[in-house]
Structure 1
Amino acid sequence: MDLKQMTYFITIVKYHSFSKAARALHISQPSLSNSIQNLERELGTPLLERTTRNLQLTEVGKLLYERANKMLQEMNILQEEIQDIIDGDRVEIIIGMIESANRWFARLMYEHKQTYPHNDFTLIDTLYSKTVLEALLRYEVHAVVTNQEIIDETIEAVPLYTEKFVVVLPNNHPLMLRENIDLQDLCNVPLILGMPSFQTCSQIMRAFEHIDLKPQIEFQIERFEMAKILVENGAGITILPENYVKDALPSTLSYRYINNDLLQRTVYFCYVKNRHFPSAILSFFLLIKNNFKTTRVQIS
C-alpha cells in the first residue's frame, strides 16, 4: 500500500464514482480500477461494494478512508513545511485578515520588508468562505488576525489589543452635539451594519437586545469601507471598530463613542502551535507581538 493508492482510493470516495475520480486524477478509468483491485488483493479484503448506482464502503474501507485521509493531510502539511524551509528568506507569508486591522498591519509589513526584502505577502479574508480555525488547521494560512476567540489546544491565540466600537456619522448630524452616544439615540436613525452572520454585527445586535431595543437597520453590507461610503453619501450612520476609523475618515465624517460596555472586542493573532515556521516568518510574528506588547489592554 503506497501513497498513490491511498490518493486514488480517497478520490474515488470523494466523487462516489470511478469515472469522475479518474477524470479528476487525469488517469484512465481502467488504470484506476486496476490500482484499487491491486490494493484490495494486497489487503486481502474488498474496500468498496460496487452496485449499478453507487459505491458503498465496506468496514475495512471506512477504516482505511479515515486513516488514509489523515495521513495524506499530514503529508501535505509536511510538504508545506519543507517548502517553507527550502524557500528560506524568499517565503510567501499568507495571513488571514480582518478589515479593521489593515492600517497597522500594512505598516508592519513594510517594516518587515526592510529586513526581509525577498519575502512576499498574501492577505486573504478567511471569514467568507471558511472558518478561521479550518484555514489554520489546513495550513491555508500561516496565521490570522481575527476578532474571533479561538479556543483550541492546537492553536496559539495571542490577544493583541481591545478596541471599542464607535458611531460614524456626518459632521452636521444632530448627534454630533453629544460627546458620547447612548444606544437609545441610535434607534430612530437609519443604521448601516454588517451581514447578520458576521461576529461584529452579532455583537452589536446583542448589545441592543440586552436593553430591549430594536435598531432601524436599512443596509447590511460586507465591507466596512462600503459602510463608510454610505454614511458619507447621507444614507445613515454606522457602528465600526475604533481602530478602523481612527485617522481614516474623510473630512466630512466624524465618530463618537458609545455608552455601552458590551460594544468592544479583542483582536487576536493566531497560528498553529506545533507548525514549523522558517525564521523569516517567526521574525514577522515577533514583530506583531512586540508592536502591541505595551498596548495590549486597550486601544483608545
Structure 2
Amino acid sequence: MELQHLQHLYYFVTVIDHSTFTAAAEKVHISQPSLSTSIKKLEKELGFTLLDRSKRELKLTKEGKILYQEAKKLLIHFDHVSDEMNRLKKEGPLELSVGIIESSKFWVPKVLTKFTGEYADVYIRLLDVLSFKDVENALKNFDIHLAITNQYINNDSIKTIPLYDERLVALLPPSHPLKYKSFITIQDLKNEKLIISKEGFQTREDILNAFRKGGIKPNIHFEIGRFETACDLVEEGLGVTVAPENYVKHMGRTNFHFKRIHDSNISRTVYLAFDTNRYLPPLVDQFILLVKTYFNK
C-alpha cells in the first residue's frame, strides 16, 4: 500500500470519528474541499460509495462501515509500528508487555527469571488485565504483546492456548462456623453473604453456574474487581468468597480459612492469548516457548 492510500484512509477515518468534514479538516490541517476531494478519490479507487450523501447527517454505507472498521485497525497497527521503529532507534528492541491475572503471579516470576537470564536488558511491563473486555481491548490496541487470562476469546485473529486448570475454593472469615469442616458443599453457602467478581469476569460466571446447578440463589452482598479486595472483606468478616486455590495458597495471608467445595467441581482454565495478525518480536516468541515449557514439565 502506498503512503498516499494510507493518508486517504486516515482522512476517511478522521471524518467518521469527528462526524463532520469541518471538524475533521481542522484535525488533519487541510481545507474542507481538499478533504472532500480525498474521500472522493478513495471511493473512485475502491469502486464503491463510502458515504451516503443523500442524508444531511454523515452516514456510512454498508461498504463504508466495513472499510471504517478495517481501516481503523490498520491505522492503529501502522501507528504502533511507527512508534516501535522510533523506539528501536533510541532504545533498542528489548521490550515485553504482558497482561496478567492475579492467580498467575505464583508462576510468572519463575518464568521471568528464566527469561531475563536470556534477555538481561529487557524492559518488562506487567499489566493487570482482568475482564474479558480488558483482555480483548489490550490485545487489539497493542497495549500488550500477549495475555495470561482465564477468558477464552472466540476471535479468529486471537490465538488462545490452554495452559492449566485451577480449582476455585471458598474463603471463610476467621471465626466462621464452617471452618471446622474438612470440606463444604455448595449448599453450605446457601445463605452466606457472597463477595463476587463484578460482571464481565469469567470467574463470576463460573461461580454463578455452580450455584444454579445446585438450585441455589446466591446472596450477593459485594461485587469486586480483584481477589485481593475480596480477601480483605473476608478477613473483616463481611462475607465469604470463592477464589482460585493457587492464588490463595501463594498469597501469604492466613487470617481466613479456605475449603474445597466437594459436590461442585468449580474450576477454570488459564490461557495464553496473543494476536496472530500482529508481528511479535523474537523475544515474545521465546517468552511463549518458556511458558509452554514450564507447564509441559
- Please say whether Structure 1 and Structure 2 have the same fold, judged by a TM-score greater than 0.5: yes
RMSD: 3.1
Counterpart-to-counterpart distance in 1, 2:59 and 2:155: 34
Give the corresponding residue for 1:37: 37
Please state if 1:186 is matched with 2:189.
yes
Letter in 2 for 1:74: L
Letter in 2 for 1:216: N
TM-score when scaled to structure 2? 0.83
* Matched-pair contact (CA < 8 Å) for 2:172–2:257: yes
Give the corresponding residue for 1:298: none
* Matched-pair contact (CA < 8 Å) for 1:5–1:36: no
1:215 to 209, 218, 221: 218
* Matched-pair contact (CA < 8 Å) for 2:173–2:236: no
Counterpart-to-counterpart distance in 2, 1:231 and 1:38: 61
Unpaired segments ≥5 residues, structure 1: 295-300
Counterpart-to-counterpart distance in 2, 1:269 and 1:41: 43
Alpha-carbon deviation of 1:120? 1.8
Give the corresponding residue for 1:282: 285
Alpha-carbon deviation of 1:33? 3.0
Mean Cα displacement is larger for which, 31-40 or 210-219?
A: 31-40
Give the corresponding residue for 1:206: 209
Q: How does 1:17-36 map to 2 (within 5 A)?
A: 17-25=20-28, 27-28=29-30, 31-36=31-36
Q: How does 1:1-300 map to 2 (within 5 A)?
A: 2-25=5-28, 27-28=29-30, 31-40=31-40, 43=44, 48=51, 53-57=56-60, 63=63, 66-67=66-67, 69-71=69-71, 73-74=73-74, 76-77=76-77, 80=80, 87=88, 90-128=93-131, 130=133, 132-273=135-276, 275-294=278-297
Unpaired segments ≥5 residues, structure 2: none
Give the corresponding residue for 1:297: none
Alpha-carbon deviation of 1:274? 5.2
Identical aligned pairs, as a percentage? 32
Q: For residues 188 and 249 of structure 1, do their structure 2 counterparts lie closer, same or farther at Cα, with a shift above 3 Å needed?
A: farther
* Matched-pair contact (CA < 8 Å) for 2:10–2:75: no
* Matched-pair contact (CA < 8 Å) for 1:165–1:242: yes
* Matched-pair contact (CA < 8 Å) for 1:8–1:36: no
* Matched-pair contact (CA < 8 Å) for 2:132–2:151: no
Alpha-carbon deviation of 1:290? 1.0
How many residues are treated as equivalent by the alignment?
Answer: 288
